[in-house]
Amino acid sequence: MVAAKRKSTKEVQNLLESMADVVVDAAKKGQDPAYQIPVRALSNVEFNPKKRIIEMGKNKTARQFFNLGMAKKFMQTVLITDALMELQRQDNLSTSLREIYYRTKHTIKGTSENTFDDQNESDPLIEDLEVTLALLREELHVRAESSGTIVGPVTIVEGGDTIDCTRQGKAGKTVPSIVEPGELDIKKCSADFVLLIEKGTQFNRLSEDKFWKKHNCILLTGNGQPPRGVRRLTRRLHDEYRLPVYVLVDNDPWGYYIYSVVKQGSINLAFESQRMAIPDAKFIGLSSLDPESYGLPRNVGIKLSEQDVRRTKEVAGYPWFQKKEWQREIKQMLTSGLKYELDALANKDFRFLTTDYLPKKLKTKDWLD
Amino acid sequence: MVAAKRKSTKEVQNLLESMADVVVDAAKKGQDPAYQIPVRALSNVEFNPKKRIIEMGKNKTARQFFNLGMAKKFMQTVLITDALMELQRQDNLSTSLREIYYRTKHTIKGTSENTFDDQNESDPLIEDLEVTLALLREELHVRAESSGTIVGPVTIVEGGDTIDCTRQGKAGKTVPSIVEPGELDIKKCSADFVLLIEKGTQFNRLSEDKFWKKHNCILLTGNGQPPRGVRRLTRRLHDEYRLPVYVLVDNDPWGYYIYSVVKQGSINLAFESQRMAIPDAKFIGLSSLDPESYGLPRNVGIKLSEQDVRRTKEVAGYPWFQKKEWQREIKQMLTSGLKYELDALANKDFRFLTTDYLPKKLKTKDWLD
């Protein structure tokens, strides 16, 4: 088992303080204080074919205080840093992006100017701080909704409680947004693999049928695009217990995209790939070749919209989808002109996913890399 | 403790079979088979001031087989009934509305006609069957997503596992969609009340701060409009353990509406009020009077949109919002022209909700009925 590294509260505090030091040092020298902020834009993102993840480049931009166009943003950056420091100073206090916006919003004395008028102003500054200080949002104690669920042979310690995920009923255990060591520890795990499921419906199907027991695996879902907590927990199970990860998504361009974010990371949050991405994750389905292999009738397919076609072609162009198996997969979707939801497997039988589809896929190793 | 009644599998099967009997009986008599389906429309819904819930009226409409305009719907009704019977015949099999659509979709032999072209055709027929046979969707084994979470001093038995909800970490236990007795049993409960929280952010705040421990209560959230499972579980805690229920929502017309659905039931699913509604539920906040009482600055309020104003006036007209305290509450929102999110309490302090707002509300019984 490989333990994941995590910055201590003291280290996080020091990094946040370094933002204040920039101002103090400049003031002492009578200079213009400025932050060097890595550029978070497509122009500064690239696919690293060796590591097989999407990474941020090295471009930075200066944010100066003595600049009419930047002064407000500079002031806002300092306010956000201060609020984040407040979180660190209280024991185990976490909050949401929206609450940080409200916490830092006030009317500047003697004026009618607000420090922030909209959350769209504060969110990007938190992301700026993440990349500038090389800190994860989780280390800054900023959480999102807890929208994931887990069941299977793994025992976790979360919020001081030891939780055996084989005894969490059909509905399973809610996955918190922050799953860094200390917040969530994996105490024991005897599973053979992780099945990461796009939608709650299929998670419920497999959990109800105790698929995890028969196939000795962990079932995880994020009810749609997996949130950070679910991605990070999957990655930790992969790293710390060497578990293979299989991703089960709808057969549409959105499903391909969800898979690619799990595997290579996302373009928007390229900085986080190093802690989130799982380059060895496999795509187990639904494949464009499955309707024929599993006898799904064409009438349960859904006609690709113009937007679907455009998006599918876009996906086909990504550097990480260039393997010939993937090009064949994507071409088949465009040729048939149809997409298929996982729910369509119910056309065969309500339990078809559990009893036929997945067991055959796993047995014949019918997945894409 | 009052045990909730639940129909046995045999009773549900008999009711579904009665749909087939209608056809067989009519055929034997050489008559036109027809179903008598209660009308699910605003015209057939009324507020019962004595029971304080929204109820369905007694209007019915006939669905005939020998009628060009109804024949397809009649056939579809029979197909859906058949699929629901399939669910009952297998041990503890549940599924989703979408999977029922896929299961019953096929091309009619010798034609190019599909039995169903869209899920919009199958969903209403399932609701028709619920009201015709006086069965809950849960008794028909049709589930939705599991999108709720619970923590607090209650022990449940779910999917064969006994789960102590005081030992579910910060993130809590996922609430299943179906919480009928047999699927979910409440084994032990020592809480004094239930706090039903609109949004996950505030649930996380209170769970992280162990509010449930200090105030001996159960925290429940549905991450937005509470899904059926969360509403039904709240109702069962209220019925079986006589727990008062306090509803915590944003201060906007949507928050009022969420509260009113929990309390009186919804107009769309009036049939279910009898099993879902909690006429004694209290509105604990956020009230339009709170910003002044708790010193929230106007700049964390959000200007009501035209749609908000229209919706607020609509809510003010509902028969169940006619108490003078409610009219004052709603009038205050319209007068100030502002709405407030619960998140805005963070403007005072990140833990203000836990340490000041709710304790004061509970102590001074500052809620609306």
Q: Do B99 and A343 touch (CB under 8 A)?
A: yes
Shortest Cα distance, chain A CAs vs residue B211, angstroms: 14
> What was the pLDDT predicted at B329?
98
Closest residue in chain B to residue A172, using alpha carbons only: B174
For chain B, positions 150-209, list CB contacts with chain A under 8 A. Answer: 156, 158-163, 167-177, 184, 200-201, 204-205, 207-208
The confidence score (pLDDT) of residue B1 equals 38
For residue A102, give the nearest of B114, B184, B347 by CB distance: B347
* Count of beta carbons in the 10 Å neighbourhood of residue A364: 9
Residues of B in contact with A171 (CB under 8 A): 146, 158-159, 173-177
Of residues A145, A158, A171, nearest to B175 (C-beta): A171
Q: Enter the tokens of residue A187.
A: 């105490």
Measured in angstroms, the CA of B92 and the nearest CA of chain A are apart by 9
Q: How far is CA B233 from the centre of its chain?
A: 10
Catalytic positions of A, written as ranges: 102
Tell me whether residues A102 and B172 touch, CB distance under 8 A. no
Please write the tens of the pLDDT for every residue from A33-64.
999 999 988 899 999 999 999 999 999 999 99
Pick the closest to residue B233 from B297, B309, B133, B163 (CA basis): B163
Q: Are B170 and A163 in contact (CB < 8 Å)?
A: no
- The answer for B 299-318 residues in CB contact with A (under 8 A) is 299-300
Residues in chain A: 369
Q: Do A171 and B171 touch (CB under 8 A)?
A: no
Which residues does chain A have within 8 Å of residue B208's beta carbon, measured at their own beta carbons? 92-94, 159
Each domain of chain B, given as residue ranges in start order, spans 9-32+67-143, 148-363
CB contact under 8 A, A350 and B201: no
Residues of chain A contacting B173 with CB distance shorter than 8 Å? 168-169, 171, 173-174
Q: Give me the total of CB pairs closer than 8 Å, taking one residue from chain A and one from chain B.
A: 181
Contact call for B201 and A300, based on CB within 8 A? no
C-alpha A125/C-alpha A73 separation (Å) is: 8
Alpha carbon distance, N-terminus to C-terminus of chain B:
24
Tell me: the pLDDT tens digits for B277-306?
A: 999 999 999 999 999 999 999 999 999 999
Spatial separation of the C-alpha atoms in residues A14 and A36, rounded to whole Å: 17
Nearest to B93 among A94, A95, A350 (CB): A350
Which pLDDT belongs to residue B2? Answer: 43
Q: Could you tell me if B177 and B2 are in contact, meaning their C-beta atoms sit under 8 angstroms apart?
A: no
Reported confidence tier of residue A145, pLDDT bands at 50, 70, 90: confident
CB-nearest partner of B103 from A103, A223, A346: A346
Residue A208: list chain B partners with CB under 8 A. 92-94, 159
Whether A320 and A172 have beta carbons less than 8 Å apart is answered as: no
Tell which B residues from 323 to 362 touch A, by Cβ distance under 8 Å: 341, 343-347, 350-351
Question: What token pair was written down for B121?
Answer: 């055709």
How far is the CA of A17 from the CAs of A20, A24, A64, B65, in angstroms? 5, 10, 18, 76
Interface of B with A in 97-116 (CB under 8 A): 98-103, 105-107, 114
Which residues in chain A (222-281) have CB-CB distances under 8 A to chain B? Answer: 223
- 8 A C-beta contact, residue B152 and residue B219: yes
Condensed to tens digits (0 to 9), the pLDDT of residues B204-252 reads: 999 999 999 999 999 999 999 999 999 999 999 999 999 999 999 999 9
Q: Which are the contacts of B311, defined by CB distance < 8 A and separation ≥ 6?
A: B253, B254, B257
Domain A9-32+67-143 top-level CATH class: mainly alpha
Q: Which residues of B are catalytic?
A: 102
**Do residue B344 and residue A102 have CB atoms under 8 angstroms apart?**
yes
Give the gap in angstroms from C-alpha B167 to the nearest C-alpha of chain A: 5
CATH no., domain A148-363: 3.40.1360.10
The verdict on a CB contact (< 8 Å) between A223 and B143 is no
B87: which chain A residues are within 8 Å (Cβ-Cβ)? Answer: 350
Cβ neighbours of residue A322 under 8 Å, at least 6 residues apart?
none
Searching chain A, which residue's CA lies closest to the CA of residue B207? A159
CA-nearest of B290, B187, B307, B213 to B248 is B290
Residue A233 has pLDDT above 60, yes or no: yes
| Residue B167 with chain A: CB contacts under 8 Å | 161-163
Give chain B's radius of gyration (CA, Å). 23
Residues of B in contact with A103 (CB under 8 A): 346-347, 350
Give me the residue label for tokens 């009022």: B256
Q: Do B350 and A158 touch (CB under 8 A)?
A: no
The pLDDT of residue B24 is: 95
With beta carbons under 8 A apart, name residues in chain A contacting B168: 159, 161, 163, 173-174
pLDDT at site B268: 79
> Encoding tokens for residue B292?
């002044």
User: Can you list the residues of chain B whose pLDDT is less than 70?
Assistant: 1-5
How many angstroms separate the CA of residue B250 from the nearest CA in chain A? 14
Q: In 3D, which of A180, A102, A173 has the Cα closest to residue A141?
A: A180
Nearest CB to B103; choose among A86, A297, A350: A350
Q: What are the DSSP calls for A128-139, one per residue? A: HHHHHHT--TTT
Give the distance from CA A69 to its chain's centroid.
33
pLDDT at residue A2 is higher than 70: no
Contacts of B100 in chain A (CB under 8 A): 346
Q: What is the pLDDT of residue A314?
A: 95
The residues, any chain, with a CB within 8 Å of residue B120's CB and separated by 6 or more, are none
Who among B98, B174, B297 is closest to A174 (CB)? B174
Query: Which has the higher per-residue pLDDT, B80 or A3?
Result: B80
In chain A, the N- to C-terminal Cα span, in Å, equals 24
Nearest CA in chain A to B102: A347
Select from A170, A209, A342 the residue whose CB has the most chain B CBs within 10 Å, as the one to mutate to test that interface: A170
Contact A201 B347 (CB under 8 A): no
Q: Is A66 on the interface with B (CB under 8 A)?
A: no
Enter the pTM of the model: 0.94
Per-residue confidence band for A6, with pLDDT thresholds at 50, 70 and 90: confident
ipTM, two decimals: 0.92
